[in-house]
Amino acid sequence: MHSSSDSDALAGMRQALHGETDLRVIAPALGDQRFARILALAPGVDPVIGALGALAGEVPDLLTPSAIESPALHAAIASLIGTDVGDRVLEAWAWVAPAGWGAPHDAALINAVHNNRCAPWVAAALIGPCDASAALLQSSGDIARAVQRWGRTTPDHPTAWTDHLTPKERTRLLDALPPGSFGAMLCLPWLPKERAAASIAAPDNLWTGTALDAYAAASPVARARHADVRTSR
């Protein structure tokens, strides 16, 4: 037996396939990963709806550069902040959004975090590095993911995020990533060099594979800056 939510999702997908663009109608389909991916791949679907399908379906790699820069997509995503569907969309969007996209929507994103409709690291990543976004970050996992995303948005200056925080807040975030911890290794290429060196030198490090994956995702500049650190053991 199908639930009413399943029926709503199926109905929303069908209407989107026939040209519907009203997010109030289509939102149930975006809330179901199966239907969201169909919308991302189906020909003839409105480009914004298709892009939202890629995000809600957790396949943001399907987005083209022009889609990522689309003002219409930006407006649609902003309208979903604070909703259940928006929570799913924003998490994928955080990895591909233009740097600082969330700054004009900082109040809405912060409210969404407080209402459990957005993960703290997602809001911080979208707003960009500043004391207000950093204040959302308490767990080492959230801090590591936000630092990773902040660092990746400035590939030619991987630690630029540190320049946008007050010394107190910068120190708080870095101290929450002890040398050799999983969190530190997850965002290692985007940490200041001395912090990276301390993590690599940590005894009995269990997260070397995590660090290697991080460097694989980092920019050539980030890898070059830490080249001597990575080869010192």
Polymer length of the chain = 233
- The DSSP code for 80 is T
Reported as type and span, the H/E element at residue 165 is: none
Compute the distance between CA of residue 123 and CA of residue 199 in angstroms, rounded to an integer: 27
How much is the pLDDT for 203? 57
Q: 211 and 135, same structural domain? A: yes
Q: 228 and 139, same structural domain? A: yes
Phi, psi of 172 (to 5 degrees): -60, -45
pLDDT band at 135 (very low <50, low <70, confident <90, very high): very high
Compute the distance between CA of residue 81 and CA of residue 184 in angstroms, rounded to an integer: 29
pLDDT band at 55 (very low <50, low <70, confident <90, very high): very high
Q: 146 and 83, same structural domain? A: no
How much is the pLDDT for 228? 77
What amino acid is encoded at 76 in this protein?
A
User: Among residues 3, 5, 1, which one has the least CA distance to residue 27?
Assistant: 5
Summarize the confidence of residues 92-99 as an average pLDDT: 96
Q: How far is CA 182 from the centre of its chain?
A: 18
Q: 84 and 41, same structural domain? A: yes
Compute the distance between CA of residue 141 and CA of residue 183 in angstroms, rounded to an integer: 6
Tell me: pLDDT of 118 over 70.
Answer: yes
Residue 123 placed within a domain: no
54 contacts: CB under 8 Å, gap ≥ 6: 36, 37, 40, 60, 61, 62, 63, 92
Residue 185 placed within a domain: yes
Q: Which of 98, 116, 138 is the last residue of a domain?
A: 98
Summarize the confidence of residues 11-28 as an average pLDDT: 94
Q: 90 and 22, same structural domain? A: yes
Summarize the confidence of residues 59-69 as an average pLDDT: 96
How much is the pLDDT for 200? 78
Q: In the structure encoding, which two tokens stand for residue 153, read together?
A: 């948005």
Residue 150 placed within a domain: yes
Residue 120 placed within a domain: no
Q: 233 and 139, same structural domain? A: yes
Tell me: pLDDT of 4 over 70.
Answer: no
Tell me: pLDDT of 231 over 60.
Answer: no
Tell me: pLDDT of 49 over 80.
Answer: yes
Tell me: pLDDT of 205 over 70.
Answer: no
Q: 143 and 205, same structural domain? A: yes
Residue 112 placed within a domain: no
Q: Are 118 and 77 in contact (CB under 8 A)?
A: no
Domain of residue 52 covers 1-98
Q: In the structure encoding, which two tokens stand for residue 99, read together?
A: 């740097």
Reported as type and span, the H/E element at residue 207 is: none
Q: 135 and 90, same structural domain? A: no
How much is the pLDDT for 2? 42
Taking CA atoms, 105 is separated from 77, 97, 134, in Å, by 11, 13, 15
Residue 151 placed within a domain: yes
Highest mean pLDDT among 3-17, 95-109, 199-213: 95-109
Residue 115 placed within a domain: no
Q: 83 and 134, same structural domain? A: no
Q: 1 and 81, same structural domain? A: yes
Q: In the structure encoding, which two tokens stand for residue 59, read together?
A: 């396949």
pLDDT band at 40 (very low <50, low <70, confident <90, very high): very high
pLDDT band at 5 (very low <50, low <70, confident <90, very high): low
- The DSSP code for 154 is -
20 contacts: CB under 8 Å, gap ≥ 6: 12, 26, 49
Summarize the confidence of residues 36-42 as an average pLDDT: 96
Q: What is the pTM of this model?
A: 0.90
How much is the pLDDT for 213? 92
Q: 165 and 94, same structural domain? A: no
Q: 148 and 82, same structural domain? A: no
pLDDT band at 226 (very low <50, low <70, confident <90, very high): confident
Phi, psi of 194 (to 5 degrees): -65, -35
Residue 125 placed within a domain: no
Task: Report the domain count for the chain.
Answer: 2
Summarize the confidence of residues 49-77 as an average pLDDT: 97
